[in-house]
C-alpha cells in the first residue's frame, strides 16, 4: 500500500521542481475564458446607477423613463427609498439592455432624489473625527512601559501611516447569470466557488442545489471577491425578469470606488532600547478607517514582543467606501508601523539595523531560528554589510542610496477541502475539487500532487476545479488554498491508488502491501522485474472506474511562516523621486510544491508592494465626498520600468520541508512598504512618515529636516 505522507526529497519527481503552470498556454494565447469573456446566446448587458453622494437618504427612485429606453429588457431596484447610503458609489438600481451603451444610457435615465447628509471622508485622527465617528477596538498592556522608558538609553517617538488603498483587480467584480426554469447558472469572478450557492439560494428563493457556480479562471481578487455582492443578486434578478442571460461586470470607476479597500493606519509610537540595542519598551496609539464599519484591528508591535508594551487602536468610521480583506489583512500596516519605528530606534542607538534585529531576534518567539537564518541569507544576497551606511551619511551629488529591512509572519494553514480522484480503466486520471485558481498556480499544484502520488507525468492528470459541482473545497483567502488542496488531493490520489493496487495485486504476486506506483508503472518494491505499465494496470478495472475521496489532512500541512525582506533604493534629493534598485526576499513556506509559481508569488508581492509603497492611495474629495482617482490614470500601478532587480530565495530543505505545506500568497506582500520606507530614511537621513512615498512627500521631509538643523 502507498503511504500518503509526503515523499522524501530523494523520491520526489515533481514536488519542489520548477514547473510551468497548466493553464499557461490558454492564458498566454488569449483562449482562457474568464467570467468577463462569457457570451451566452441572447445575452443582455447590465449597468447600475450609483449614488453620487457619500452620505444621503434616498427620497425617490423613478425608473419609468429608463424602462422605455431603446433596448431595455429589465430594471431592478437595489436600494430602497428612505434608506441612507453610506458612500459615493452605492448601487441604487440596475438595468439590462441589448447593448452596453443602451444599458448605460438607461441607467443614467433612472431618476434618483436624495436628501444629502454630512459626510466624513478624510483620514481624520480620533480627536478630529469626534466621538460619533470613533470606536476604540482594542487596548493591550504587558509589563509596564513607562518605567522602562525612564531607564532606557535610547528612546524615539514617531508618527507613521499608510492611507486607504484599493484592490484594483484587473477583471472587475461581477458575473454572467442565466436561468433555465428554476436552475440558476452564475459565471462568477470569485474566490469562493463552493460558497456562493449558499448566498444565491436564499436571495433567489431556490434550493442551493439549483445554483451552479462556474469559475475556471479569474482575473485577480486579492481578498475582495468572497461574496456574491449586491450586483450578483441584481444580475440574477435582471436575468429572471428578462428571461435572458445577463452580463454585469463593474465599470472601472465603480470597481475602484466600492469593490475593495484596505483600511488606513496611523500610529504614534514611542519605543526604547538599552545601549546595547536590546529592545525594552513599546507604546503606541493607532487609528485608521475601514469605511463605515470597524474592520482592521492591528496588534502592535508586530513580530517583536518586548517585555514592556502597550497599545491602543481606534477605528474611525467614515464615508470613504467599504473595506474588504486586502492580501494579508492588517499585516502590511502593522509591519510598516513597527519596522519603521524599530529602524528609527536603531538609528538613534546608533546601530546597524541588521545587528539590531539580530540582537532582538529572541523577542520574535518560536520563529526566531527561521528569522535568523533568513536575515543572514538576505544580508548575503543584498551584500548588506558592504552597502550599508549610517543614516544620513551622504555622498556627493543629488542621488543618495539607502537600505532597509523588515520581518513578517503569517499563518497559512490549509482550508477545508474535499477532493475526488478518479482512475479510469483506460488509464486516464481526473482530480476534481471546487476551489479556484486566482492566478496563484493552485491548479498546477493539484496536478503535481496527483501525478507525484500516482507516479505519472503531470500531463497524465486532468485537473477539474472552479465549479461547485465538484466536491466542496474552501475559498481562497489567507493563503489557505495550497495547504487545503494539496493535502486533500494527496489523500484522494493515495486512496485511489491503494484501490488500484488491490485490483492489480493478483497479477503481481498477490501482495498489495508490496506494490508502488513509480515512473508510469505499478511495480513490486525492490524487484524491478515485476511490474505492469500504468495502462495495463488500469485495464484490470474492467469497466468500472475507481473514485476515491480525500480531505484536508492536518498531518500534511502546517501554519506560521517567517519572512525577511530588504530593499535598496536611490533617492534624487532634487526631485524627490524614489527608485527601487533592488529587493531581496528570504521566505519560508514549509514544503514547496511548485518552486516556479512559489517564486512568482514572491516576485508579484514585491511588485504589488512597490506599488503601494510609492504610488497607491484612494484619494477622496472632502467637498463632494467622492473618490478623485477612480480610474487607472490617477490610481497608479507600478510598471515594468519601476521594479529594479528582484531576488527571491525560498527557504527549503531540512527544517523547512518537513513542516509540511504552508500558504504563501500573503506573507511576501507584508514587508515591502516597511523596507522601502526604511531604505528611504536610510538614504536621505529623515523619515517620510506616510506611504505612498511620493516625490512631494520626500521633498517635504527633506525640508522639515533642514528646518530642524
Partner 1 sequence: MSDHRSNGSGNGPGNPGKADNANPENAKPEKGVSRRSFIKGAGVAVSAVTMLREGLLSPTAAAADAKVAGPGAIAMTLKINGQAHKITAEPRLTLLDALRNNLDITGAKKVCDRATCGACTVLMDGKAIYACTLLAIDAQGHDLQTIEGLSAEGALHPIEAAFVDHDAQQCGFCTPGFVMAAKSFLDAHPQPTREQVTKGFGGNFCRCGTYVGVREAVLDAAGRMRGGRA
d(CA 139, CA 133): 18
Q: Residues binding partner 1: what is the number (CB under 8 A)?
A: 58
Q: Is residue 639 within the footprint of partner 1 (CB under 8 A)?
A: yes
Nearest Cα to 36, choosing from 248, 264, 280? Answer: 248
Distance of CA 545 to CAs 425, 426, 430, 539, 542, Å? 6, 9, 11, 10, 8
Say if residues 486 and 556 touch (Cβ distance below 8 Å).
yes
- Shortest reach from residue 32's CB to partner 1, in Å: 6
Judged by CB under 8 A, the chain residues 43 through 72 that form the site for partner 1 are: 45
* Nearest residue (CB) to partner 1, 42 versus 207: 42
Q: Among 401, 540, 636, 659, which residue interacts with partner 1 (rule: CB under 8 A)?
A: 636
Give me the residues paired with residue 265 across strands: 162
* Nearest residue (CB) to partner 1, 55 versus 254: 254
Nearest Cα to 2, choosing from 286, 321, 479, 423? Answer: 423
What is the 3-state secondary structure of 97-116?
ECCHHHHHHHHHCCEEEEEE
d(CA 190, CA 169): 11
Q: Among 4, 6, 21, 557, which residue interacts with partner 1 (rule: CB under 8 A)?
A: 21
Q: Among 5, 31, 141, 385, which residue interacts with partner 1 (rule: CB under 8 A)?
A: 31
Q: Among 368, 502, 643, 700, which residue interacts with partner 1 (rule: CB under 8 A)?
A: 643
What cell was used for 332? 502590511
- Shortest reach from residue 63's CB to partner 1, in Å: 23
Give me the residues paired with residue 515 across strands: 524
* Nearest residue (CB) to partner 1, 452 versus 599: 599
Judged by CB under 8 A, the chain residues 306 through 365 that form the site for partner 1 are: none
What does the DSSP assignment read for 385-416?
HHH---TT---SSSEEEEEEEEEEEE--PPPP
- Shortest reach from residue 220's CB to partner 1, in Å: 4
- Shortest reach from residue 475's CB to partner 1, in Å: 16
Region binding partner 1 by CB under 8 A among candidate stretches 77-85, 88-96, 407-415, 434-442: 434-442
* Nearest residue (CB) to partner 1, 32 versus 699: 32
* Nearest residue (CB) to partner 1, 45 versus 357: 45
- Shortest reach from residue 319's CB to partner 1, in Å: 25
- Shortest reach from residue 634's CB to partner 1, in Å: 9
Q: Is residue 641 within the footprint of partner 1 (CB under 8 A)?
A: yes
- Pattern 198-217, partner 1, x by CB under 8 A: -------------------x
Q: Among 3, 8, 10, 29, which residue interacts with partner 1 (rule: CB under 8 A)?
A: 29
- Shortest reach from residue 637's CB to partner 1, in Å: 5
- Shortest reach from residue 47's CB to partner 1, in Å: 13
- Pattern 223-262, partner 1, x by CB under 8 A: ----------------------------xx----------
* Nearest residue (CB) to partner 1, 21 versus 626: 21
d(CA 327, CA 684): 30
Which residues, 6 or more positions from 627, have their beta carbon under 8 angstroms from its beta carbon?
88, 89, 253, 256, 257, 320, 321, 618, 619, 620, 621
Q: Among 2, 16, 23, 334, which residue interacts with partner 1 (rule: CB under 8 A)?
A: 23
Nearest Cα to 402, choosing from 414, 389, 415? Answer: 389
Q: What angle do CA 525, 499, 496 make, to 5 degrees?
A: 100
* Nearest residue (CB) to partner 1, 36 versus 114: 36
- Shortest reach from residue 343's CB to partner 1, in Å: 25
d(CA 92, CA 52): 10
* Nearest residue (CB) to partner 1, 225 versus 313: 225
- Shortest reach from residue 308's CB to partner 1, in Å: 39
What does the DSSP assignment read for 595-646?
HHHHHHHHHHHHHHHHHHHHT----B-TTT--BTT-STTTS----GGG--EE
Q: Is residue 438 within the footprint of partner 1 (CB under 8 A)?
A: yes
d(CA 218, CA 215): 7
Region binding partner 1 by CB under 8 A among candidate stretches 192-200, 468-476, 636-644, 690-698: 636-644
Nearest Cα to 578, choosing from 669, 684, 671, 672? Answer: 684
What does the DSSP assignment read for 5-26?
SPPPGGG-SSTTB----TTHHH
Q: Among 25, 207, 506, 519, which residue interacts with partner 1 (rule: CB under 8 A)?
A: 25
Give me the residues paired with residue 216 across strands: none
**How far separated are the first and last CA of the chain, in Å rounded?**
75
> Site residues (CB under 8 A) for partner 1?
20-21, 23-25, 27-34, 36-37, 39, 45, 99-101, 168-172, 217-220, 222, 251-252, 438-441, 596-597, 599-600, 603-608, 611, 631-633, 636-641, 643, 646
Amino acid at each position: 500500500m502507498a503511504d500518503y505522507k509526503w515523499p522524501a526529497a530523494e523520491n520526489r519527481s515533481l514536488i519542489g521542481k520548477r514547473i510551468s503552470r497548466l493553464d499557461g498556454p490558454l492564458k498566454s494565447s488569449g483562449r482562457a475564458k474568464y467570467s468577463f469573456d462569457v457570451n451566452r446566446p441572447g445575452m443582455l448587458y447590465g449597468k447600475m446607477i450609483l449614488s453620487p453622494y457619500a452620505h444621503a437618504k434616498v427620497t425617490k427612485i423613478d425608473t419609468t423613463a429608463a424602462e422605455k429606453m431603446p433596448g431595455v429588457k429589465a430594471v431592478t431596484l437595489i436600494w430602497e427609498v428612505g434608506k441612507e447610503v453610506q458612500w459615493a458609489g452605492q448601487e441604487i438600481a440596475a438595468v439590462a439592455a441589448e447593448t452596453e451603451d443602451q444599458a448605460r444610457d438607461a441607467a443614467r435615465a433612472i431618476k434618483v432624489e436624495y436628501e444629502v447628509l454630512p459626510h466624513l471622508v478624510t483620514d481624520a485622527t480620533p480627536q478630529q473625527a469626534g466621538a460619533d465617528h470613533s470606536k476604540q477596538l482594542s487596548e493591550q498592556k504587558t509589563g509596564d512601559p513607562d518605567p522602562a522608558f525612564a531607564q532606557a538609553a535610547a528612546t524615539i517617538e514617531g508618527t507613521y501611516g499608510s492611507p486607504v488603498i484599493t484592490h484594483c483587480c484587473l477583471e472587475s467584480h461581477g458575473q454572467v447569470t442565466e436561468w433555465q426554469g428554476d436552475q440558476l447558472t452564475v459565471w462568477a469572478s470569485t474566490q469562493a466557488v463552493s460558497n456562493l450557492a449558499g448566498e444565491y439560494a436564499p436571495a433567489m428563493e431556490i434550493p442551493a442545489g439549483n445554483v451552479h457556480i462556474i469559475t475556471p479562471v479569474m482575473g485577480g481578487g486579492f481578498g475582495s471577491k468572497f461574496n456574491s455582492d449586491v450586483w450578483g443578486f441584481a444580475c440574477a434578478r435582471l436575468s429572471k425578469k428578462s428571461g435572458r442571460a445577463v452580463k454585469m461586470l463593474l465599470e472601472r470607476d465603480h470597481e475602484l470606488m466600492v469593490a475593495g479597500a484596505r483600511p488606513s493606519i496611523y500610529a504614534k509610537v514611542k519605543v526604547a532600547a538599552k545601549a546595547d540595542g536590546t529592545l525594552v519598551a513599546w507604546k503606541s496609539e493607532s487609528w485608521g478607517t475601514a469605511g463605515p464599519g470597524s474592520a482592521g484591528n492591528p496588534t502592535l508591535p508586530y513580530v517583536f514582543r518586548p517585555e514592556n508594551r502597550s497599545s491602543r487602536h481606534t477605528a474611525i468610521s467614515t464615508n470613504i467606501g467599504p473595506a474588504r480583506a486586502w492580501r494579508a489583512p492588517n499585516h502590511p500596516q502593522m509591519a510598516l508601523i513597527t519596522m519603521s519605528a524599530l529602524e528609527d530606534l536603531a538609528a538613534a542607538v546608533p546601530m546597524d539595523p541588521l545587528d539590531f534585529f539580530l540582537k532582538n531576534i529572541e523577542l520574535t518567539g518560536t520563529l526566531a531560528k527561521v528569522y535568523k537564518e533568513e536575515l543572514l541569507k538576505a544580508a548575503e544576497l543584498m551584500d548588506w554589510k558592504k552597502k550599508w551606511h549610517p543614516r544620513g551619511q551622504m555622498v556627493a551629488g543629488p542621488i543618495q542610496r539607502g537600505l532597509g529591512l523588515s520581518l513578517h509572519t503569517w499563518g497559512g494553514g490549509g482550508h477545508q477541502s474535499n477532493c475526488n480522484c478518479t482512475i479510469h480503466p483506460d488509464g486516464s486520471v481526473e482530480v476534481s475539487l471546487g476551489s479556484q485558481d486566482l492566478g496563484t498556480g493552485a491548479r498546477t499544484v493539484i496536478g503535481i500532487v496527483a501525478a507525484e502520488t500516482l507516479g505519472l507525468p503531470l500531463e497524465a492528470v486532468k485537473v477539474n476545479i472552479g465549479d461547485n459541482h465538484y466536491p466542496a473545497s474552501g475559498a481562497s483567502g489567507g493563503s489557505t488554498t495550497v495547504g487545503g488542496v494539496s493535502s486533500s488531493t494527496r489523500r484522494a490520489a493515495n486512496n485511489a491508488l491503494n484501490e488500484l493496487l488491490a485490483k492489480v495485486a493478483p497479477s503481481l504476486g498477490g501482495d498489495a502491501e508490496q506494490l508502488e506506483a513509480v515512473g508510469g508503472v505499478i511495480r513490486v518494491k525492490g524487484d524491478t522485474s515485476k511490474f505492469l505499465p500504468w495502462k495495463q494496470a488500469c485495464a484490470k478495472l474492467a469497466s468500472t472506474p475507481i473514485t476515491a475521496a480525500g480531505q484536508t489532512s492536518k498531518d500534511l500541512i502546517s501554519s506560521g511562516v517567517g519572512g525577511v525582506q530588504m530593499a535598496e533604493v536611490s533617492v534624487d534629493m532634487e526631485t524627490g523621486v524614489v527608485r527601487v534598485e533592488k529587493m531581496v526576499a528570504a521566505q519560508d513556506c514549509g514544503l514547496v510544491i511548485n518552486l516556479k509559481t512559489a517564486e512568482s508569488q514572491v516576485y508579484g508581492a514585491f511588485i504589488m508592494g512597490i506599488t503601494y509603497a510609492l504610488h497607491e492611495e484612494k484619494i477622496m474629495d472632502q467637498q463632494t465626498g467622492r473618490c478623485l482617482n477612480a480610474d487607472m490614470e490617477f490610481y497608479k500601478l507600478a510598471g515594468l520600468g519601476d521594479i529594479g532587480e528582484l531576488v527571491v530565495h525560498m527557504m527549503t530543505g531540512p527544517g523547512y520541508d518537513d513542516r509540511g505545506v504552508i500558504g504563501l500568497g500573503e506573507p511576501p506582500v507584508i514587508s515591502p512598504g516597511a523596507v522601502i520606507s526604511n531604505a528611504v530614511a536610510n538614504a536621505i537621513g529623515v523619515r517620510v512618515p506616510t506611504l505612498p512615498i511620493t516625490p512631494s512627500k520626500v521633498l517635504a521631509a527633506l525640508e522639515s529636516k533642514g528646518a530642524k538643523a
